[in-house]
Amino acid sequence: MKAIILAAGVARRLAPLTDRTHKCLLPVGDRPLLTRMLAALEAVGVAEALLVVGHCADQVRAVAGARFGRMRVRYIDNPEYTRGSVLSLYAAREHLAEPALVMDADVLFSRELLRRLLAAPPPSAFLLDRGFQDTGEEVKYYTRGDRVIALGKKVVPESWELAGEGVGFFKCGAEAGPELVRLLERVIAAGNGLNEYEDALHLLVTRRHVGWVDITGLPWTEIDFAEDLRRARDEVLPHVVRLDGA
């Protein structure tokens, strides 16, 4: 299994903290957020991490290097990193021909999230947290039975059973990958490359069975704003360290 980590965007909502560095390099505890993510991936047996880079790419390369423990690290450049995240995932399209984890680089999380996602029987699956507060910023996932039927910040299907916030991690099976690439191309053409990659994932779940894994109660947080960073450092990190021992 390989991981595709989307680490290209500018993160304007965290300015000025991210004016001269990437937000995945901001320290959380005694190390950068990205280092924690790579350590988690290596700990659960991921063989290779592919970082899609753009903003402050040289800094990202300097921190991550060519290997992280036993895990190989490689880089994919997205020269259009100031546009939509759909272009970052599309830049890694050749790696979606085989099973892969697609991950946002701005998430602090316990390794148990990855263990559950990798152990889930469906070849394609999302992580879902039912204990969220809807502020309008969250990408929400809607389920019916054992599958996700819709996702997005503003998308609400007519009929659904459970809803939760998505973590920003997607286990993409080998059969789903080529279809996802075609849907990324469709979304890019429709939005001139300004869309988010979740738009393509929404189309994917309307066409293909994609499962979900409940991680409600486990510690994690996405970091979009300065308050998210404070919460990650002061509230979430102690729980992560308690569970992971690192």
DSSP symbol at 54: B
CB 54 within 8 A of CB 77: yes
Write the pLDDT tens digit of every residue in 112-145. 999 999 999 999 999 999 998 888 788 999 999 9
For residues 71 and 40, give the distance between their C-alpha atoms in angstroms, rounded to a whole number.
Answer: 11
pLDDT higher than threshold 90 for residue 214: yes
Query: Domains of the chain by range and CATH?
Result: 2-244 (3.90.550.10)
In angstroms, the CA 224 to CA 231 distance is 11
Per-residue model confidence (pLDDT) at position 13: 95
Task: Calculate mean pLDDT across residues 26-41.
Answer: 98
pLDDT value at residue 88: 98
pLDDT above 90 for 229:
yes
> At 35, which helix (H) or strand (E)?
helix 33-43
Nearest in space to 3 (alpha carbons), one of 119, 89, 122: 89
Average pLDDT of the residues in 209-237: 97
Q: What is the pLDDT of residues 164-196, one digit of tens each?
A: 999 999 999 999 999 999 999 999 999 999 999
H-type alpha helices, the chain: 33-43, 57-64, 85-91, 111-119, 176-191, 198-207, 226-231, 237-244
Q: What is the pLDDT of residue 83?
A: 96
**What average pLDDT is seen over the chain?**
97
pLDDT of residue 2: 98
CB 240 within 8 A of CB 40: no
Residue 235 scores a pLDDT above 90:
yes
Condensed to tens digits (0 to 9), the pLDDT of residues 84-111 reads: 999 999 999 999 999 999 999 999 999 9
CA distance linking residue 234 with residue 45, whole number of Å: 29
In the predicted structure, residue 246 carries a pLDDT above the cut 90? no
Mean pLDDT of the 18-45 span? 98
Task: Give strand ranges (E) for 122-179.
Answer: 125-129, 140-144, 147-152, 162-172
In the block, residue with structure tokens 């994932």: 201
